[in-house]
Amino acid sequence: MLDWIVHRALTRAVSQYPNKPFLICENKKVTFEELDEITDVLASALLEEGFRRGDNLAILALNQLEWLYSYFAAAKIGVGVVALNPRYRETELEYMLNNSKAKGIVSLSEYQGFDFSGFFQRFRDKVPNLEKYIFIKKGFEGSLQLDDLLKYEGNKNSLDQYKLDVKEDDTAIVIYTSGTTGKPKGTLITNRSILESAMAQADHLSLGENDCTVGSLPLNHVGGITCAVHALLVKFGSIVLVPEFIPEMVLQVIDRVKPTMFGGVPTMYLMLCNHKDIDKYDLSSIKIGIVGGSNVDRSQCELIDRHFPNARIVNLYGLSETSGACIMTRLTDSVERVQESIGVPIGDFKMKIVDSEQKELPHGEVGELAVKGNCRAKGYFGLEEETKLTFSHDGWLYTGDMGYLDHEGYLFLKGRKKEMYIQGGYNVYPVEVESILMSHPKVSFAAGIGVPDLFLGEVGLYYIIPKEGAVISEEEVKVFSKQHLADYKVPKLIIFTKNLPQTPAGKIQKSALKEQYLKQLPAK
């Protein structure tokens, strides 16, 4: 690549394959040239609405064409996209929209019975930075409709100059990842970092213009925007968008479109392979099956091998902080290797294992994983101290994940240094949920841990100390949580207690809680 700017990656694709479909959504196909033209119009409309380089535009939508129209239009004028999950509710949206200083938002009008139009109309006083409300369908009075901006016929002459002003280090997208302080951290992913990760992955997998991936991982996550969209963009391939992960919908898409690649977390593969009608679908077109987040165990490998007969299974490790993939197994690796290791650094990225003082450890010793390379994001929005702790001045990123390297340089993950657990592919930090639970008038204290679950991998177990004399039920806690949190963060298991184990320093001893819970499980 001559440079590392998102809108120029699109321009290169147009120059090579103008009439090749890049985005496939239901029965609609959008070529590289059409995407370029559509987003030129939308970028000009955004300029007319007052957006400029350095501003942020939030997107709250499913995996749909409008999401990517908005993203590529923003990229052309140096506007960063704040990626939001449609499952977010008041607590999360208030913090993220204020923290990111988003100037505008492109939003669904409604999702799963939730009225976003009405919500944002009532919510405006709480997000004073938000000047422009753009709805994909009908919004409230005074808001804008995306369709109208896509028909903009005003002056487009100045757009070329704004494109020239975009720099490699400009923020392309802000993705929020929950923090140990209880406040989500807005990871600043740049034009360069997202393209470096995407190119490294695409080269590692030998992707080309004939490849097509299933876009069912959410676009507000690096699994969707980097590992799917950008990885295929830089190699002139295609992506078939699936609005959200619904097993039957994904199976139908694979059977109909014949993509060559599918990426998902282990739970997604489990849901696909256990679908009652899976044998009705032809899945033989899938040549690469990417498993993100953790290596696949023997039973999962056997399931994937049975139902995706031509797929090579590849493990992928990446974070928002690495803008996408940074470590993967090789296509030539044996099934046994894939079951054990998460892989090797891709591209020219580097990794090492360090002790508590960040000194490098020899092969075989367990410590914290650190990653280095141009895939590294530039920090967290407005969180200088947390940025310094994670993003070192000498270019290393300290991931908080524990593991060791073997003599061949393969990474073996051993667990997470932080308290985060992964429920059905979604990262959850207990401290964020605890702060919501403790805002309930009947709750005195709450402590959460992730515990094993056969279907979701891990689920949240929360110990709650009710206030003296208060009577509170499990259902009451869950209903309250659903009002304030995304559904995947709502506690799955709740235990009411009078006290919790503490360390000598007075902190809750969560290791003791987990040990206590695991002991009472039936022996395998």
In the chain, % of residues over pLDDT 70: 96
Residue type, 419: E
Q: Which pLDDT value is given to residue 300? A: 79
Q: How confident is the model at residue 113 (pLDDT cuts 50, 70, 90)?
A: very high
Question: What domains appear along the chain, each with residue ranges and CATH number?
Answer: 6-189 (3.40.50.12780), 192-416 (3.40.50.12780), 421-519 (3.30.300.30)
Q: Which pLDDT value is given to residue 274? A: 85
Max CA-CA distance within the chain? 71
Taking only the tens place, the pLDDT of each residue in 4-17 is 999 999 999 999 99
Q: Which pLDDT value is given to residue 179? A: 47
pTM value > 0.75: yes
Q: How confident is the model at residue 78 (pLDDT cuts 50, 70, 90)?
A: very high
Q: Which pLDDT value is given to residue 435? A: 81
Q: Which pLDDT value is given to residue 1? A: 60
Taking only the tens place, the pLDDT of each residue in 79-90 is 999 999 998 989
C-alpha angle 20-375-295 in degrees, rounded to nearest 5: 85
Taking only the tens place, the pLDDT of each residue in 27-43 is 899 999 999 999 999 99
Helix H, strand E, coil C: the string for 355-373 is: CCCCCECCCCCCEEEEEEC
Is there a contact between 110 and 61 (Cβ–Cβ < 8 Å)?
no
Q: Which residues does 242 contact at the CB level (< 8 Å), separation at least 6?
A: 63, 214, 215, 216, 249, 250, 253
Mean pLDDT throughout 105-131?
96
Mean pLDDT throughout 353-360?
94
The encoded tokens of residue 494 equal 């709740």
Is there a contact between 385 and 394 (Cβ–Cβ < 8 Å)?
no
Residue type, 357: E
- For the cut 50, the answer to whether the pLDDT of residue 187 exceeds it is yes
Q: Which pLDDT value is given to residue 507? A: 58
Taking only the tens place, the pLDDT of each residue in 262-319 is 999 887 888 899 899 999 999 999 999 999 866 677 777 888 999 999 999 999 999 9
Q: How confident is the model at residue 180 (pLDDT cuts 50, 70, 90)?
A: very low
Q: Which pLDDT value is given to residue 295? A: 67
Q: How confident is the model at residue 182 (pLDDT cuts 50, 70, 90)?
A: low
Q: Which pLDDT value is given to residue 444? A: 84
CA distance 38 to 30: 10
Q: Which pLDDT value is given to residue 415? A: 64
User: Mean pLDDT score of the chain, rounded to an integer?
Assistant: 92
Q: Which pLDDT value is given to residue 438? A: 87
Taking only the tens place, the pLDDT of each residue in 150-162 is 999 987 778 999 9
Taking only the tens place, the pLDDT of each residue in 372-388 is 999 999 999 999 999 99
Q: Which pLDDT value is given to residue 181? A: 42
In the chain, % of residues over pLDDT 90: 77
Mean pLDDT throughout 344-369?
95
- Residue with more model confidence, 244 or 468: 244
Helix (H, G, I), strand (E, B) or coil at 522: coil
Q: How confident is the model at residue 126 (pLDDT cuts 50, 70, 90)?
A: very high
- For the cut 80, the answer to whether the pLDDT of residue 346 exceeds it is yes
Q: How confident is the model at residue 418 (pLDDT cuts 50, 70, 90)?
A: low
Mean pLDDT throughout 406-422?
84
Q: Which residues does 179 contact at the CB level (< 8 Å), separation at least 6?
A: 185, 380, 383, 386, 429, 432
Q: Within 10 A of 238 (CB to CB), how many other CB atoms are there?
A: 25
Give the C-alpha distances (Å, rounded to integers) separating 326 from 14, 194, 200, 312, 391: 27, 11, 8, 19, 15
